[in-house]
Structure 1
Amino acid sequence: MRFVAIIVLSLSCVYPALLLAEVATPSIVEICASNGPGAPQVIERHSLGFIVEEEGFLLTSYESLTKPETGTLLSRFEVSWDSGTGTSRYAARIIGVEPTLNFAVLKIEREGGFAASKILRDDSLVAGEEIFAATQANAVSTHLVVGRLEALNSKECYQQDLTATMLAAEIDIPSSGIGGPVFDRTGSVIGMFTGYHPPEDDDDQANEAELTHILPIFLAFNIYDSIKQRQSLASPWTGFSVRPLNEVERRQFPVAQGQFTGGIAFEYIWESSPAAAMGLAVDDILLRFAYYPIHSPADFQKWLYLYGVGRTVKLYILRDGEILVKEYTIEERPSWVKPL
């Protein structure tokens, strides 16, 4: 994190230069994606990203790493990073991606020494606070837009309702900011701009469509380590979305001689899905995923991604006081399944 010369672009607010000089930025990089070796290197995509570990792991937009015509991943990536004393360029490789949430993990091909961005905890977010997003970063200046966080996410599981898991903000981030961090005045990252827009034909979300939607950093970090370890290139899918237990459901525990002390509930089941084929139902409670107790949607997301597509697991379900065990081989999320 560093303090830089700031050029702020805003249609709604003008800030005193003295205050702008106090804005810190995360460890932002520029990424060029192109085709593979053995052919003329034509840069197909430009995007921003931000370093999250000193070893050179960074986050950016998944779509920014794909060929525009086909949506297939490009194979050559160059990262430009300003250390404060000058801009350096490094090759990078893909570690893992999450296509549904539209983010990717890259690793810079150098042994550490990078400044890592500060990540803000989810319980530190406050609606109404001032936020910033980068639209360009180089050794001379960082161009920012400024706005205000309007609403926090209302759901923790993105599988069925992606819009509800996003932060909503009054901030005008241009396409050049895709893949970059959204952060507060201290430079602490609250989210990433992926270019997401709610479905235009959803009348219930008409007002939401007027706001800018930001992927919460804590949602990305729920599965970041799992994606990095698994090196996953696909979205795992079960055919259900989940929610925390309500107060009535929590009063059922512990169950089965104290073996299970909590869980999460199924909120939505897709027709013609693996969950439907297993006979799962809305309001069933997921107690355990493979060998691991599940007490929150974050627990479920972590283990789903760590096991990944192709692995077979047992799901332990509570229904009307009875424990059910279902075996499931994790599938890749099909193209016809689109969250709202």
Structure 2
Amino acid sequence: MSHPDTHESSAQSPHAEPLSLTAVSDQLASAVEHAALSVVAVHARERLASTGVHWRDGLIVTTDATVRREQNITITIPDGRRVAATLVGRDAASDLAVLRVAAGVSFAPATIGDPTTLRPGHLAMAVARLDDSGPRVSFGAISTIGHAWRTWKGGEYSRRIQSGFALYPGFGGSPLVDAAGRVHGINSGGLSQQLATTIPADTVERVVSQLVATGYVPRGWLGAALQAVRVGESAKVAAQGREGGLLIIGVAESGPAATSGLLVGDIVLALDGAAVHEPHDVLDVLQHMAPGRAVSFDLLRGGVFVRVIVTIGERPSGHDDRRSRRGAR
């Protein structure tokens, strides 16, 4: 009978030597040890700390939902010391916040991995730190790798990464760590109630760069509430054959829609010639559009085709700050 440590699995490469359970366990422990060198506890709320990662250049990344105060923030670094940190910027839409560690404090930055190399079934861990007692770990496997997606708050992620490990209290802001100790993203407790959801490393890098540059992430803003509607048969000629669009059901006072002449009751058919069918079609356009850009809106107004030029504004500060504390681990 073969010893369990030497039994070859049919799933293994025929050219790979099988690893014993002990060797796999030791490898994972080494990966945690390496990743933990860049993991900190973030003290920015009452009672329970959250987790952060030394991303680069003295910058600590954590989740926005776990930063409850913007002053008197401290972090516990891997050697157990508690030091001061300042808030660089935050973005509720992507659930990311960036802190800067106090001058003169030095410790290892994370080894950043490539999220495109992850596959369902890969072993993965969340590595947290809540105090000076050392790292804490939640273990599982990658469950889902999906396409680019938008959160309910409007944040845009390069891919969907979900894992089967639990995000315990304080694990918000923890890194997703692979078996080699590489960090592939930041775990957020507020994006899903079923599986741990990770903000991919490339998305984190993009948001960090924007927060360092400006303190916030500028996003285009229309200032209108929209809902999908169908165009009646009698209006299809005026609608240039389109069967549906977006009914404007509200406009923000002094917002871009109002100041550009959009009215409640208008049906938006297209933006710069591209048809729109659902509110997220407009969000997709605004997400990548710099404030100040002029956009052509094709409308159906009172059964008549109208074209209005709208100057896109910048989303007001705090407009997307309706943070859900549910799941802010």
Match of 2:166 in 1: 172
Give CA-to-partner distance per residue, 1:7-56, whole Å, 9 cap, x none: xxxxxxx975423333231510111126xxxxxxxx545111001113x1
Match of 1:227 in 2: 211
- Identify if the C-alpha distance between structure 1 residues 335 and 109 changes in structure 2 by more than 3 Å, giving closer, same or farther: closer
Identical residues among aligned pairs (%): 15
Match of 1:11 in 2: none
SS in 1 for 2:120: coil
Inter-partner Cα distance in structure 1 for 2:183 and 2:310: 39
Report whether the alignment pairs 1:272 with 2:250. Answer: yes
Match of 2:71 in 1: 75
Query: Would you say the 8 A contact 2:123–2:179 is kept in 1?
Result: yes
Correspondent of 2:180 among 183, 186, 189? 186
**What displacement does 1:281 show?**
5.0
The RMSD of aligned alpha carbons is 4.2
**What displacement does 1:104 show?**
0.5
- Identify if the C-alpha distance between structure 1 residues 149 and 95 changes in structure 2 by more than 3 Å, giving closer, same or farther: same
Report whether the alignment pairs 1:334 with 2:319. Answer: yes
Correspondent of 2:49 among 46, 49, 57? 46
Give CA-to-partner distance per residue, 1:289-333, whole Å, 9 cap, x none: xxxxxxxx7x975775xxxxxxx51245698xxx99642221226
- TM-score, normalised to structure 1, is 0.60
Q: Give matches, 1:200-219, under 5 Å.
A: 209-219=193-203
**What displacement does 1:235 show?**
7.2
- Identify if the C-alpha distance between structure 1 residues 144 and 285 changes in structure 2 by more than 3 Å, giving closer, same or farther: farther
Match of 1:58 in 2: 60
Match of 1:99 in 2: 92
Inter-partner Cα distance in structure 1 for 2:210 and 2:119: 28
Inter-partner Cα distance in structure 2 for 1:152 and 1:58: 26
SS in 2 for 1:219: helix
- Identify if the C-alpha distance between structure 1 residues 141 and 59 changes in structure 2 by more than 3 Å, giving closer, same or farther: same
**What displacement does 1:75 show?**
1.4
SS in 1 for 2:250: coil
Query: Would you say the 8 A contact 1:222–1:302 is kept in 2?
Result: no
> Across the two proteins, how many residue pairs are aligned to each other?
253
- Identify if the C-alpha distance between structure 1 residues 87 and 331 changes in structure 2 by more than 3 Å, giving closer, same or farther: same
SS in 2 for 1:21: helix
Match of 1:69 in 2: none
Inter-partner Cα distance in structure 2 for 1:112 and 1:100: 30
SS in 1 for 2:77: strand
Query: Would you say the 8 A contact 2:268–2:297 is kept in 1?
Result: no
Correspondent of 2:35 among 21, 25, 35? 25
In structure 1, runs of 5+ residues without a counterpart are 1-13, 35-42, 67-72, 199-208, 241-266, 288-296, 305-311
Inter-partner Cα distance in structure 1 for 2:144 and 2:89: 29
Query: Would you say the 8 A contact 2:219–2:314 is kept in 1?
Result: no
Inter-partner Cα distance in structure 1 for 2:246 and 2:321: 16
SS in 2 for 1:193: strand
Inter-partner Cα distance in structure 2 for 1:159 and 1:276: 22
Inter-partner Cα distance in structure 2 for 1:285 and 1:158: 25
- Identify if the C-alpha distance between structure 1 residues 161 and 324 changes in structure 2 by more than 3 Å, giving closer, same or farther: same
**What displacement does 1:168 show?**
1.7
Give CA-to-partner distance per residue, 1:116-168, whole Å, 9 cap, x none: 11223343332321111023366664221111111124334446776986422
Inter-partner Cα distance in structure 1 for 2:269 and 2:163: 32
**What displacement does 1:231 show?**
1.2
Correspondent of 1:150 among 138, 143, 151? 143
- Identify if the C-alpha distance between structure 1 residues 74 and 95 changes in structure 2 by more than 3 Å, giving closer, same or farther: closer
Inter-partner Cα distance in structure 1 for 2:117 and 2:249: 37
Query: Would you say the 8 A contact 1:45–1:64 is kept in 2?
Result: no
- Identify if the C-alpha distance between structure 1 residues 223 and 141 changes in structure 2 by more than 3 Å, giving closer, same or farther: closer
**What displacement does 1:191 show?**
2.0
Give CA-to-partner distance per residue, 1:236-291, whole Å, 9 cap, x none: 64469xxxxxxxxxxxxxxxxxxxxxxxxxx999853668666695764699xxxx
Query: Would you say the 8 A contact 1:99–1:235 is kept in 2?
Result: no
SS in 2 for 1:272: strand
Match of 2:109 in 1: 116
Query: Would you say the 8 A contact 1:49–1:180 is kept in 2?
Result: yes
Match of 1:245 in 2: none
